[in-house]
Amino acid sequence: MTLVAERSHVVPSGSALGADIVGINPVSPSSDDIQLVKSALRDHLVVRLRGYDISDVAFTRFAALFGELEGSPAYSRTRAVYVPDCPEITIISNVVEAGAPIGEHGDGELNWHSDKGFVELPSAYTFLLGREVPASGGNTSFCNMYAAADRIPADLRARLADLKLKHQRSHTAQGTRRPGYRDIGTDDPRELPGPQHPILRTHPESCRQALYLGRRFGGYIVGLPLAESEAVLNQLWLCAAQPEDVWTQEWQTGDLVIWDNRCSMHRRDAFPGMGRRRMHRLTTISERPY
């Protein structure tokens, strides 16, 4: 009997975003495989490769085929499980060993956000690899921000064309202060440091506009009175993450999930007491938002 490799193909989730890619091994992808993953990302915004065993070196090599990798934050390089051969990998984990966390973000809920909107060149793709996952809990949900843009009332959408949102970088999506900003003397969104990005962001490949919000805490629409900025942001956030625009990833060990931060947001359920969770994350740098 001759064994024939399964032909690679895409299996959409059936929701507003998300798809499985079957038959592509990220350890040894061909150029056709990479093109298929890229086109699936363009069409489905989030893709999952399930059931492969991949080293950190091979994981890094695979992600680098999608763009320039960002380095991991300096503070994460002090963790006990920092991967010296792969300085771009950030560990996301609730695990505490010898009294110290081995990674970032603990076991709490993470509010809706896109990755690294608070820098001038934010993350394009995020690659999250489930090294250890609890039997339940810690799911990651994704929402389609093209759909969110399409929900904006026409008169407001026309107004947004000329407006920019400041994505503050001093606080997390949960409103806690980041390392390096502990002493910042204000929580006023107008005063917080951060880059300005278009509220309606054009995707360079699809050429479609997505609502680009980053995170809610500390957001400020440049030039508006604060109360008006808050009112418009509240209205825009109501357009995002409607139930029919959401798909939820329930993690299995070895899952590699890739998403496009330019047209999606994500959130994580809390999972206190539900077991060890250790994810290895890579991100690529995007073009300047326009």
Residue with tokens 């590699």: 256
Q: What whole-number distance in Å separates Cα of residue 121 and Cα of residue 260?
A: 14
Cβ nearer to Fe ion, comparing 115 with 245: 115
Q: Which residue has the tokens 């929580």?
A: 187
By CB under 5 A, the count of residues binding Fe ion is 1
Contact stretch for Fe ion (CB under 5 A) within 51-59, 107-115, 149-157, 235-243 = 107-115
Nearest residue (CB) to Fe ion, 116 versus 157: 116
Secondary structure letter of residue 177 according to DSSP: B
Considering beta carbons, is residue 115 or 260 the nearer one to Fe ion?
A: 115
- Name the minimum Å distance from CB 126 to Fe ion: 7
Identify whether the C-beta of residue 155 lies closer than 8 Å to the C-beta of residue 274.
Answer: no
Per CB under 5 A, the list member of 115, 245, 255, 260 interacting with Fe ion is: 115
Stretch that binds Fe ion, among 42-50, 108-116, 159-167, 175-183 (CB under 5 A): 108-116
Residue 60's contacts (CB-CB under 8 Å, 6 or more residues apart) are 69, 86, 88, 89, 282
For Fe ion, the closer of residues 29 and 122 by Cβ is 122
Q: Which residue minimizes CB distance to Fe ion?
A: 115
How far does CA 83 lie from the centroid of its chain? 21
Closest separation in Å from C-beta 259 to Fe ion: 9
Is residue 260 involved in binding Fe ion (CB under 5 A)? no
Q: How far is the CB of 230 from Fe ion (least distance, A)?
A: 24
- 267 neighbors 48 (Cβ within 8 angstroms): no
Cβ closest to Fe ion, residue 133 vs residue 152: 133
Degrees, nearest 5: CA angle 153-111-243: 50
Phi, psi dihedrals of residue 177, rounded to the nearest 5°: -80, 140
- CB nearer to Fe ion: pick between 105 and 157: 105
Give the C-alpha separation, 152 to 158, whole Å: 9
Which parts of 204-223 interact with Fe ion (CB under 5 A)?
none
Question: Where does this chain bind Fe ion (CB under 5 A)?
Answer: 115
